[in-house]
């Protein structure tokens, strides 16, 4: 997609303020919640992937190393005006490439039940029963990355 750049940053990058605001607007405010009330200490350890358009962050996701060759994808958010335009797909694909190139073989995530179809279209599969997180139904999903780069 033209005019969209995807990169990764840390929590100390200037873009982090935009990432925080995007997560607040897309993931928390609709639930009547705020990141201001959450422990964001894990952000400092995460690799934060961002999609930018015209210098503005329009999507993000966080990768958190949970041990061994496993990364957890968390806090994925796409600005409302960019949803349904394959920005999320581009972001996840770049995060997967990063993981594969850096020796990680598995990505897990806690998907809101309403977006499981999106992750299934990217070859993630459900590994849990429904559970409640931030007051809404979620499922654990997983993807093995060994096939990336093959073929």
pLDDT value of residue 129: 98
Exposed/middle/buried for residue 140 (C-beta within 10 Å: 0-12, 13-18, 19+): middle
pLDDT value of residue 66: 97
For residue range 57-100, list pLDDT tens digits in order: 999 999 999 999 999 999 999 999 999 999 999 999 999 999 99
Assess if residue 68 is contained within a domain. yes
pLDDT value of residue 81: 96
The whole domain housing 72 covers 4-104
- What's the sign of the alpha-carbon dihedral 62, 18, 26, 29? positive
Cα(126)–Cα(38) distance, integer angstroms: 27
Positions of the chain with pLDDT lower than 50, given as ranges: 149-151
- Tell me if residue 132 falls in helix, strand or coil: strand
Cα(52)–Cα(69) distance, integer angstroms: 28
pLDDT value of residue 15: 96
Assess if residue 57 is contained within a domain. yes
Please give the tally of structural domains in the chain: 1
CA angle 7, 25, 56 (to 5 degrees): 35
Assess if residue 80 is contained within a domain. yes
Assess if residue 142 is contained within a domain. no
Cα(8)–Cα(12) distance, integer angstroms: 12
| Best CA proximity match to 123, nearest among 97, 147, 98 | 147
Assess if residue 137 is contained within a domain. no
Assess if residue 12 is contained within a domain. yes
pLDDT value of residue 151: 36
Assess if residue 78 is contained within a domain. yes
Assess if residue 121 is contained within a domain. no
Cα(16)–Cα(33) distance, integer angstroms: 19
Query: pTM value?
Result: 0.93
Cα(88)–Cα(36) distance, integer angstroms: 25
Domain CATH code at residue 10? 3.40.630.30
pLDDT value of residue 8: 95
């Amino acid at each position: 997609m033209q005019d969209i750049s995807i990169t990764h940053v840390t929590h100390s990058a200037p873009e982090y303020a935009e990432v925080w605001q995007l997560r607040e607007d897309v993931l928390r405010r609709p639930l009547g919640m705020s990141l201001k009330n959450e422990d964001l200490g894990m952000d400092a350890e995460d690799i934060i992937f961002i999609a930018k358009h015209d210098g503005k962050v329009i999507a993000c996701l966080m990768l958190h190393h949970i041990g061994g060759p496993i990364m957890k994808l968390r806090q994925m958010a796409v600005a409302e005006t960019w949803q349904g335009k394959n920005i999320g797909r581009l972001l996840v694909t770049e995060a997967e490439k990063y993981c594969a190139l850096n020796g990680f073989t598995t990505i897990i995530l806690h998907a809101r039940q309403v977006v499981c179809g999106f992750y299934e279209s990217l070859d993630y599969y459900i590994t849990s029963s429904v559970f409640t997180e931030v007051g809404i139904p979620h499922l654990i999903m997983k993807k093995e990355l060994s096939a990336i780069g093959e073929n």
